[in-house]
Amino acid sequence: MPVELGRVGIWTFALDLQPAARAGELAAELEEMGWGAIWVPEAVGREAPVNASLLLAATQRIAVGTGIANIYARDAMSMNAAWQTLSEAFPGRFLLGMGVSHQPSVEGLHGQEYTPPLATMREYLDRMDASLFVAAPPSQPPERVLAALGPKMLELARDRTRGAHPYFVPPEHTEIARTILGEDRLLAPEQMVVLDTDAARARAVARAAMSMYVTLPNYANNLLRLGFTEEDLGGDISDRLVDAIVAWGDAGTIAARVRAHHDAGADHVCVQVLPFDDIDTVMSGYRTLAEALL
């Protein structure tokens, strides 16, 4: 049986900002609300497989995905060992999302050379698949997805993994990704949301969350491919781009954006409530959206 994610899950950095015990309690609450999966990032917070294990241990049924585990943070043999270990310990509940991260992070934070993304990911997958793992194996095949944006990385996700977990994308990208992946691969895009009907306030929260991402080449290039311009990305970030990337308004408006991803071909949409650094707002948002989406 494949890892069951449901139609809608959550993507959040907010749990990293809580003590581990409290994060586990909140994860259990999210599970009780009925969300299908919890996706956690890896950048400057908790180490992704360790974080996933803490959340899996604190819950009973909900799936946990890494969105994404940075391949520069550990070698392929270590990634494979973590993947196999968690898949064995929590059958049918762990999905390993992997990505090539971004040049500023890899070279500035990890002190490594950022090499061509596609070739690097392909070689990494080869090394994972060839890795020696002498421990109790999973009872069912472990599953992985790629943080794919461009056509070639989407093709690699199609050919070598269960599918793709695109981040920072509008429904228009979801439609393109579905065409490339085909019908039998998982497509699980992330969607930022702000539960606020005041345009100025909501867009201010959105811009604060988007400001770093628009400076990263992988995301910027993907947006340019989709028809946005340097002017949209630069300066104060255009309303056009803000509204394309972040769904804001009431629960019904946000539910409509999630439906747009589903209609474009998404199997599962990972909802990220903003601002991520206010845990009360985040959890209140997920309670409200659970009523509208689940």
Confidence (pLDDT) at 103: 87
Taking residue 105's Cβ as centre, other Cβ atoms within 10 Å add up to 17
pLDDT digits (tens, 9 = 90+) for 201-240: 999 999 999 999 999 999 999 999 999 999 999 999 999 9
Question: Rounded distance, CA 111 to CA 108, Å?
Answer: 6
Confidence (pLDDT) at 260: 98
Confidence (pLDDT) at 211: 97
Categorize the per-residue pLDDT at 109 as very low, low, confident or very high, splitting at 50, 70 and 90: confident
Confidence (pLDDT) at 1: 81
52: phi then psi, degrees, rounded to nearest 5: -60, -40
Categorize the per-residue pLDDT at 108 as very low, low, confident or very high, splitting at 50, 70 and 90: confident
- Quote the pTM value: 0.97
Q: Is the pLDDT of residue 196 over 90?
A: yes
Name residue 87's amino acid: S
Q: Is the dihedral of CA 58, 99, 209, 207 positive or negative?
A: negative
Confidence (pLDDT) at 182: 98
Categorize the per-residue pLDDT at 104 as very low, low, confident or very high, splitting at 50, 70 and 90: confident
Confidence (pLDDT) at 118: 98
In the chain, the DSSP E strands lie at 8-11, 37-40, 63-66, 69-70, 94-99, 143-146, 163-164, 186-187, 190-194, 246-248, 269-273
CB 8, CB 258: distance < 8 Å: yes
CATH topology of domain 8-293: TIM Barrel (3.20.20)
Between strands 69-70 and 63-66, the pairing is unpaired
Confidence (pLDDT) at 70: 98
pLDDT digits (tens, 9 = 90+) for 32-71: 999 999 999 999 999 999 999 999 999 999 999 999 999 9
